Structure 1
Amino acid sequence: MTASPSVASQSTTRLDGQLGTRSIVFMVIAAAAPLTVIGGNVPLAVGSGNGAGAPIGFALAAIILLLFSVGFVTMTPFVKEAGAFFSYVTAGLGSRLGLGTAFTALVAYTAIQVGVYGYMGWAVGDLVTYFGGPDLPWWLYSFAAMAIVAVLGYRHIDLSARVLGVALALEILVVVVLDIVIFATGGDSGIAMQTFDPATVFTPGIGVAVLFALTGFIGFEATAVFRDEARTPEKTIPRATYIAVIVIGVFYAVSCWALITGVGANNAVAVAQKTLAGNGNLLLDTATQYLGPIMRDVIQVLLVTSLFACVLSFHNVIARYQFSLANKGVLPAALGRRHTRHHSPSVSSIVQTITAAVVLAVLALSGLDPLVGVFGSMAGVATVGMVILMLLTSVAVFFFFLRRPALAEGHAWGARVFPVLAVLGLIIAMWLVLSNFTLVTGGSVAVSTALALVPVVALLLGIVLGARLRLDGGAAIDADAEAPPA
């Protein structure tokens, strides 16, 4: 079965917009939820990982993603569809693996979005009670946030970009200010140079640090998801990809180093472990010490806006995945319709809201803790899914150019060398993720194994269905496009 929209129908089945590099970078970094990572993933990486050496774990994760990005960007000019990873895999490895990739992406992004809704419900509840408000169930706040996301997701993407841009700018600004003050004052006992000592970095805990760093990068493929809404996608997507990975990686690593410097390298593990035990907060307590109680309150509020920006970004990504799959005949055609006034994937957006609401309701009714039970388990599913997606995409890039040597001329590094390096790095990353998986999910080995298999099952289901549905990979290829400079 092949389903490609006719030229006449593309006005209602193709999205459009004028997003520039800055707007797309906002979308991607917002999905990474930088303040959430600094407040949550950093204590985990320090307290459960390699202590003062944790910033290097974030740097290593960024390097792995940069290796991946070179091949991804090299192939981007030849992929005309806005399906992100699944379009690349379809073009490079065929429709079966392409559809499997699409299903894996839907599961991974749905999981992390629902997980963040759980985290957000807890964060809003904590904020309300901190300021003397009523102690209400966390899921009430989660569903309230979901309603707002539903409205923004239904409308034109430019509105979401503006909302994300404001929230993102504020949360990054306040952490940068904290970093500067800590380094300017010398921290607790001088700049923590132990961070760069190989004896500190390369301990068994380095795997845990890399694991939580990778979790913080989930969502960066959104650069390609917004292809149809980009002003000049051939230039915008490569720029946005590199900028997003570098900015996120540097921000995470430097901010992690700053917090370690702030509390002292020798005290960092103990302080982080207190945070994990619920007896303190590494980020908020450090902010109080160096910026004062008012800025602590500001950061606590911005944590909520960070989480909101995150779920809004994931909502937009999932809606566009469904929209693209519907126009290929994989999902119901209604999901592939564009709103006549907002030019948004409105039907897909509504369905995505309903899906997230159902999953979140099941988890809430199960009585799970919003952080460990909901966020932890869903983040674990998403992390495994993300690594699978990038692995398949790197392999697809290699074989895409192997079968089209003329397109690879002058671009051997991006077409052949970097995809291989990315595959090797991602295999190591997958091993690190799976060998420390119970730390992410907070569950038993049996529960963690079941969760890790969820994206694998989605991949296999897509492959099986791909035997019956033939996705038109050729339609995604533009052989006349020029690859970026070597």
Structure 2
Amino acid sequence: MTGTTARREIHTYKGQDRALRAGRLGTAGLLLSVLAATAPLMVVAGVMPTTYAVMGITAQPLLFVVLGVVMALFGVGYAEMSRHVHNAGAFYAYIARGLGGAAGAGASFVALAAYNALQVGVYGLFGFEAALLLDTYLSIRVDWWVIALLGIAVTGVLGALKVDLNARVLGALLLVEVTLVVILDIAFAADPGPQGLSLQALDPAALTGAGLGTALCFTVAAFLGFEQAPVYAEETHRPQTVVRRVMFLAVGSVAVFFALTSWLMGVATGPDHVVGAAREQSAGLLFGLSEPRLGGTFTDVLHILFLTGIFACMLAFHNVVARYAFAMGREGLLPAAVGRAARGTGAPAVGSMLQTAVALLVVLAFALADDGPHGDPTTPVLELFTWMGNVGALGVIALMATTSVAVIAFFVRRGAVAVQGARLACAGLAAVALTVIFGYAVADFEVLLGTDPDSALRWVLPGVIGAAALAGVVVGLVLRSARPATYARIGLGNEAFQLAREAEHTAAPPAPGSAAPPVTDQTPEPPAKPER
């Protein structure tokens, strides 16, 4: 073996297939990967009109500002934690290091359930919109679930390839989406509605009469993505720096971008008319505002790029789910086969296949239950997309709140309160704010779903997150009793294998003349004694 080949290999205690391929992503690649999950066109065409229509408020831009502040507070502690813990399990790894293995195991199952729900739900919207476009422009009638299954297949193939290739695909789609939204913003500002460039939507008094917490639940989906940056820590250049930088760039850009766009959407209709227009046109509001200003051709392109943006969102969430599954398999929370990376690509191929299988089963179940006429959005959009999206968002909010508490516990147990005091204060404020938002989400879940207050779904669907947490805690407790060595590894990721190798060599020094242990390209920072 040549020296060059040796340097390219990744050696871990358990072997090359227990590590994701390091050095694949830089700042730009990671930023594009996480921002793709925010799906700008999907937020602008879907989340914004829905929030205007359901909440009946005109101050939507302020929701993005308030939530941006909350996410920034969360990001302070989260980013600092990412400098100390590099693990594709991100949320659950941090919770395990701060609150113990059982809590970490519970969080791992919540993360797996939440991100699977987010990812699978998008297939419903993707299938419906693609079928609508085919019918409108080519007069081809295809059921939504046929296209959704095709999307599952393509996403599964891409998910098993190199992460830098995925980043290029996501980045290209994201840049086109952002460009189109910027063009729309300029058009709205240049040709405002009957009230001109009104600042009415920026008046805090315009939030009066709305449940702020519930309104924030509607817009929290717009930010989902930035928190995924640490999931890729093992695959980035200089993770201590890059992950932190990307998170703050993502939060800042999302908050400013969406606050500006939601304000200009209100300007285009007139603040006094935007709620009524959103209730009448729903997701068609954006396209209705676009056509008279930019023409039919631009609006047709917007429809097509709306679809590619949905696909980018699907792929981004698929990558995250695959890496969570990989981390859990590597640490004994899922079967060991899930915790193996493909030798050729360094991607979590088995985790990718697992997520694809879950998506296939869920989409098929909804397809079989769909008894509506062709073109009816009830099953793919109002049920699959809405139900799964809200379950996933609820789970992520819970993970963020718990992670903020875990960050505080982690540094307190390390005796670093004096050094990390300001960051811990930010984490505490974030924990309180996120807990309040979570409480509003659970209390008003029927509003998020658009169902009757007496519907069993308002408790059954949030119960999915509770059941996942309970299942994870049980698995953690069983491991603590039956396999304590595996339990002690929860949250440590590849660092656990390095510690085990060091322990072996300390206990039994190599005999004179024996081969030295392989040099690792992924050597973690000098590990502290695991907090348990």
Q: Flag structure 2 segments of 5+ consecutive residues without an equivalent.
A: 1-9, 371-377, 480-486, 496-523
Q: CA deviation at 1:202?
A: 3.0
Q: State the one-letter code of the partner of 1:332.
A: P
1:31-46 superposed matches below 5 A: 31-46=37-52
1:393-412 superposed matches below 5 A: 393-406=403-416, 408-412=417-421
1:219-238 superposed matches below 5 A: 219-238=225-244
Tell me whether 1:350 sits opposite 2:350 in the alignment: no
Spell out, residue by residue over 1:433-479, the C-alpha distance to the aligned partner (whole angstroms, 9 max, x if none): 22332232233432121101111110111111111221425746878
Alpha-carbon separation, structure 2, partners of 1:137 and 1:353: 20
Alpha-carbon separation, structure 2, partners of 1:166 and 1:479: 34
Question: Paired residue for 2:445, among 437, 447, 464?
Answer: 437
Query: Is the 8 Å Cα contact of residues 385 and 455 (structure 1) preserved in structure 2?
Result: yes
Aligned to 1:338: 341
Alpha-carbon separation, structure 1, partners of 2:382 and 2:447: 10
Q: State the one-letter code of the partner of 2:354.
A: V
Length, aligned pairs only: 473
Give the superposed CA RMSD: 1.9
Question: Paired residue for 1:15, among 6, 17, 20?
Answer: 20
Report the CA distance shift for 1:138/1:471 in structure 2 as closer, same or farther (over 3 A). Answer: farther
Spell out, residue by residue over 1:401-431, the C-alpha distance to the aligned partner (whole angstroms, 9 max, x if none): 111124x4432111x2011100111122112
Alpha-carbon separation, structure 2, partners of 1:363 and 1:442: 18
Of all paired residues, the percent bearing the same amino acid is 34
1:7-406 superposed matches below 5 A: 7-16=12-21, 17-276=23-282, 281-367=284-370, 369-406=379-416
Report the CA distance shift for 1:85/1:438 in structure 2 as closer, same or farther (over 3 A). Answer: same
Alpha-carbon separation, structure 1, partners of 2:169 and 2:451: 35
Alpha-carbon separation, structure 2, partners of 1:436 and 1:217: 20
Q: State the one-letter code of the partner of 1:139.
A: W
Q: Flag structure 1 segments of 5+ consecutive residues without an equivalent.
A: none
Q: Secondary structure at the match of 2:210?
A: coil
Identify which range, 65-74 or 341-350, moves more after superposition. Answer: 341-350
Alpha-carbon separation, structure 1, partners of 2:269 and 2:385: 27
Q: Secondary structure at the match of 1:369?
A: helix
Spell out, residue by residue over 1:48-91, the C-alpha distance to the aligned partner (whole angstroms, 9 max, x if none): 11422111112212211111111101111111322110010000
Aligned to 1:421: 429
Q: State the one-letter code of the partner of 1:431.
A: G
Alpha-carbon separation, structure 2, partners of 1:143 and 1:251: 32
Query: Is the 8 Å Cα contact of residues 13 and 337 (structure 1) preserved in structure 2?
Result: yes
Query: Is the 8 Å Cα contact of residues 190 and 261 (structure 1) preserved in structure 2?
Result: yes
Alpha-carbon separation, structure 1, partners of 2:300 and 2:85: 45
Report the CA distance shift for 1:145/1:474 in structure 2 as closer, same or farther (over 3 A). Answer: closer
Greater Cα radius of gyration, structure 1 or 2: 2
Query: Is the 8 Å Cα contact of residues 86 and 239 (structure 2) preserved in structure 1?
Result: no
Query: Is the 8 Å Cα contact of residues 150 and 349 (structure 1) preserved in structure 2?
Result: yes
Q: Secondary structure at the match of 1:32?
A: coil
Alpha-carbon separation, structure 2, partners of 1:261 and 1:472: 54
Alpha-carbon separation, structure 2, partners of 1:225 and 1:90: 15
